[in-house]
Structure 1
Amino acid sequence: MESTAGLRERKKAETRQAIHKATLRLAVERGLDHVTVDDIVEAANISRRTFSNYFGSKEDALLYGEEQRIRSLVRAIRERPAGESGWRALRGAVRDELEGVGEPEREWAVRTSLTRRHPALLARQLANHAALERELVQAISDRDGAGKPAADLKCRIMAAAFLAALRIATHVWIEEQEARPLSQIMEQALDEVARPFC
């Protein structure tokens, strides 16, 4: 029974990924405004109903990869050793994530560039980042024993600074046309904001 459930979940994950990849490919080829759900359904070789079972819109399908990375990062932060400070846990988690999955594929740069040019995607991405920031604040707070207003403020600033450093590093990586590894640029950006949190 357990292996059947595991297989079913794996198949669902594969279907989500196939829809995401088809959406991304079509958006790059045609521009997101010129891609319909019917186009995605045809490219992914699925039914419209299957698409609707997994995603509410083409924007959802396009941003799926980013949302998975966000969930993975939050999970990695929560799994860091208990004795680490919030800042060390954030840095360790992002380092582990990049080592675990390797440098981002071209897909990440393409998706980020698409998002920057498309208002609906940008709005959705901002909402994702706001949710991530809340989760990071909670994870840091759980670690650093916050509860006092000053500690809460520090956790919020730390989470915002961390995300800003990652966002800026990603934009520099894309602007440099991936000339340097993203991990190197992220480490440099995080070093720049680390001093108050170490």
Structure 2
Amino acid sequence: MTTTPGLRERKKAETRQAVYKAALRLVAEHGFDHVTVEAIADAANISRRTFFNYFADKADAVMYGEEQRHQLILAKFRARPAGESSWPALYRVAEEIYGELGEPDRDWSLRIRLARRHPSLLARQLAGLGALERELAQAIAERDGDHGLRPRVLAGAYLTTLRIATVVWLEEDQNRGLAESTMAALDELGRSFED
């Protein structure tokens, strides 16, 4: 009996997600420097060899959720109606993402806070944000037909606003939701980019 590609891909996605969650949990419990690939593989119930089929190292596993969010932002932006200008499209992307994913739980915020304290993870996060900014600026340029400075400024300002809203939410006692904090921050930014 053969499995369909759809089932195989779903199983791969489930394994990747299990490894990612195990990596975050272990880093939150023990610190990045005290977690090994072997420990992550054991927690995810896979072999060390299987781990390397999915991730290059433990930092890749920890940062996988960040990469997923980056790809989601790009995919949703590209899927917005063609006649919609970039600022409203970006705003709607944030609304859609929070509408679909809901609020992160407190465990997520704790794990993210702990994981981002490590210099190598911070470096990867910044590199990932730089790549996302370039791709998003290109998508904005294609959408608006403007290949000047504005797409880069808009992409950079949008991503910085998302980051600031998350940092403020993490640093405060989280009395209001991340979605509410993010949309309020985007409202502030939007005053500069509304058409």
TM over 0.5: yes
Mapping of 1:100-179 within 5 angstroms?
A: 100-147=100-147, 152-179=148-175
**Cα shift readout 1:73-119 (whole Å, capped 9, x = no counterpart):** 11000001111111111110111011011112335423431243110
Partner amino acid, structure 1, of 2:124: R
TM-score, reference length from structure 2: 0.94
Q: Deviations over 1:8-64 (max 9, x none)?
A: 000000000000011111101101110001111111111011000000010000111
Letter of the structure 2 residue corresponding to residue 55 of structure 1: F
Q: Which amino acid aligns with 2:56?
A: G
- Any conservation in 2 of the 1:55–1:61 contact (CA below 8 Å)? yes
User: Which SS does the other structure have where 2:24 is aligned?
Assistant: helix
Greater share of residues in helix = 1
Counterpart in the other structure of 2:185: 189
**Comparing 110-119 with 137-146, which one deviates more in the overlay?**
110-119
Shift of 1:176: 1.4
Q: Secondary structure at the match of 1:180?
A: coil
- Distance, in Å, in 1 between the alignment partners of 2:111 and 2:81 is 32
Confirm whether residue 23 of structure 1 aligns to residue 23 of structure 2.
Answer: yes
Root-mean-square deviation (CA, aligned residues, Å) is 1.6
**Contact 1:115–1:125 (8 Å) recurs in 2:** no
Matched letter for residue 174 of structure 2: E
For 1:155 and 1:96, how far apart are their aligned partners in 2? 21
Distance in 1 between the 2:23 and 2:92 partners?
A: 32
Alignment partner, residue 76 of structure 1: 76
Displacement over 4 Å in runs of 4+ = none
1:180 maps to a residue whose letter is R
> How far 1:3 sits from its partner (Å)?
7.0
Q: Runs of 5+ in structure 2 lacking a partner?
A: none
Query: 1:193: Cα distance to partner?
Result: 1.4
Residue 60 of structure 1 corresponds to 60
* Residue identity in the other structure for 2:185: A
- Measured in 2, the distance between the counterparts of 1:76 and 1:63 equals 20
Mapped partners of 1:12, 1:106: distance in 2: 27
- Give % identity: 57
Q: Which structure ranks higher in relative contact order (CA pairs < 8 Å, sequence separation ≥ 6)?
A: 2
After superposition, residues 26-45 of structure 1 pair within 5 angstroms as 26-45=26-45
Q: How far 1:139 moved relative to its partner?
A: 1.2
Q: Which moved more, 1:57-66 or 1:106-115?
A: 106-115
Other structure's SS at 2:60 match: helix
CA–CA distance in structure 2, aligned partners of residues 179 and 60 of structure 1: 31
Instruction: Give the aligned length.
Output: 194
Q: Unpaired segments of 5 or more residues in structure 1?
A: none
Answer yes or no: is 1:94 the counterpart of 2:94.
yes
